[in-house]
Copies of this chain bind each other. A is one copy, B any other.
Amino acid sequence: MEAEQNRHFGDARFVLNPCSHLSPDDIAYFRSVLSPSSIVQDADDLETFNNDWLQKHRGQSKLVLKPSSTEEVSKTLKYCNDNMLAVVPQGGNTGLVGGSVPVFDEIVVSMSNMHSIRSFDPVSGALVCDAGCILEVLDKYLEQQGYIMPLDLGAKGSCHIGGNVSTNAGGLRLLRYGSLHGTVLGLEVVLPDGTILDNLSTLRKDNTGYDLKQLFIGSEGTLGIVTGVSILSPKRSRAVNVALVGLNSFDNVQAAFKRSKDELSEVLSAFEFWDKAAIQLVKDHLLAGANDPLESLHPFYVLIETSGSNKDHDDAKLTQYLEGLMNDDIVQDGVIAQDTTQIQNLWAIREGIPEACSKAGAVYKYDISMPVPVLYQAVEDMKNRLIQKNAIGESKLFTSVIGYGHVGDGNLHLNVAAHEYSKEATDLIEPYIFEWTAKHAGSVSAEHGLGISKNNHLHYSKSPSMIQLMKRFKQLIDPNEIMNPYKYLPDQ
């Protein structure tokens, strides 16, 4: 009983093994394996590693280790496993579900010292690199070679590719290049017992045995630590166009999307939407004084990007598509970026939404996926619920409900802004939103993952038999439960 309490409110190691506390011997061992600068114990220096990006989750780790090689990761994990010391793998620490910071005082294993590009094949586009490489650094490197990373997300300047893989990051290019389950060619993974799974294949096709790497994609560091990644990068498109349109209804957003699949087809590379509440926050907090690219406010906005090999062809396709939308009254207004700066400015609106939301106060963030036709109904139903409960307005609990996301992926980012986080506020949204999602056969975590925020909501999207099998896999690979404990799988 006491142990169970500790599990939730006390010392993590105590649950794992009452005998194991971080001792001088442990530190001495890590000093024998890692360089002195790779061992962080200073209280101030530990702060960054203990706090997550949202400033919502805070751990109490007393030790951060920054191995410089796969062998160092292996020795570190083996020691921790043998001595029942809990471990949190950490990449760029940009996750949104508290998955990359300790719950209690787990040892943080940061991958920031492993950031080398190992190889690149200019014929196939296969890139092999350390897990600690920053996504944007890799994309810049590939740009020089005429290639592009198959994924892109707002946190690209900080997030690690190893973290992207471990969380199965989705982002802005999934519509075009598909998920990491398709683009990752191979992984190097260290298991909790120190075993190195050396599967850094650069082959596009390989049907020799169970595709083990797939299990580590999206497992959030609960089965081991990804130390190396082989990924297939596509050719960088010579021509990129971006248009922004304003629309009157989500029905029209859907109509525009359906047409884009026919008319833009193979050059369509992004189809992102946001609503009036989102643009209002961006204008208030980020674009103050700057001109709105469209003359008046619209209920909905869609950013459409095309990427292709022939600028004239892409221009012709995009122009014809947009003219059709205007003629048929599907969009009310629109602009096409005329140069790279304008392209960046239009994308800055979309990418600024999360930051603008966070400046609006306390934000409850939900990342759900569902069939496209009911995508925006989630926002409307939530808004109506809060109105009915008399809980939204200037002097009420909540200030606004914001919807934006990736239409093409059926992925809605539903944000509910409150004056402050409170149990009363939480209870008005949850489990309502999860039940709503389950009712519409959706996922309660489309791309952000589970971490500590969503692990106990797994049953809304997965059946008992699936959760049971997940637990058996976890037990098989991490029997001591040292890897990223208290997260991902449900407590019960």
By a beta-carbon cutoff of 8 Å, the part of chain A in contact with chain B is 121, 123-124, 146, 167-168, 170, 174, 178-179, 181-183, 195-199, 201-212, 214-215, 217-219, 235, 237, 254, 257-258, 261-267, 307-310, 313, 316-317, 369-373, 406, 408-411, 441-450, 454, 458, 461-463, 465-467, 469-470, 472-473, 476, 488-489
| One of B265, B317, B446, B450 near A203 (C-beta < 8 A) | B446
* 20 contacts across the A-B interface (CB closer than 8 A): A123-B371, A123-B373, A181-B182, A181-B211, A182-B182, A199-B466, A202-B441, A203-B443, A208-B462, A209-B458, A210-B219, A210-B470, A210-B473, A211-B218, A212-B473, A214-B217, A237-B265, A237-B266, A262-B309, A310-B313
List B contacts of A406 (CB < 8 A). Answer: 205
Q: Are B214 and A211 in contact (CB under 8 A)?
A: yes
Q: How long is the Cα–Cα vector from A170 to B207 in the complex, in angstroms?
A: 9
> In the complex, how many angstroms separate the beta carbon of A464 from the nearest chain B beta carbon?
10
List B contacts of A317 (CB < 8 A). Answer: 309-310, 313
List B contacts of A446 (CB < 8 A). Answer: 203, 205-207
User: Closest B-chain residue to A261, C-beta based?
Assistant: B235
> In the complex, how many angstroms separate the beta carbon of A254 from the nearest chain B beta carbon?
7
Known: A235-B262, A470-B212. A179 touches B179 (CB 8 A): no
List B contacts of A463 (CB < 8 A). Answer: 197-199
Q: Are A207 and B267 in contact (CB under 8 A)?
A: no
Q: How long is the Cα–Cα vector from A263 to B239 in the complex, in angstroms?
A: 12
List B contacts of A449 (CB < 8 A). Answer: 207
> In the complex, how many angstroms separate the beta carbon of A191 from the nearest chain B beta carbon?
8
Known: A181-B182, A204-B411, A205-B174. A469 touches B211 (CB 8 A): no
Q: Are A265 and B410 in contact (CB under 8 A)?
A: no
9 other A-B residue contacts (CB within 8 Å) besides A199-B463, A207-B218: A170-B205, A181-B211, A205-B369, A205-B443, A206-B445, A208-B450, A209-B467, A266-B266, A313-B317
Q: Are B209 and A489 in contact (CB under 8 A)?
A: yes
| One of B124, B182, B212 near A372 (C-beta < 8 A) | B124
User: Closest B-chain residue to A266, C-beta based?
Assistant: B266
Q: Are A207 and B266 in contact (CB under 8 A)?
A: no
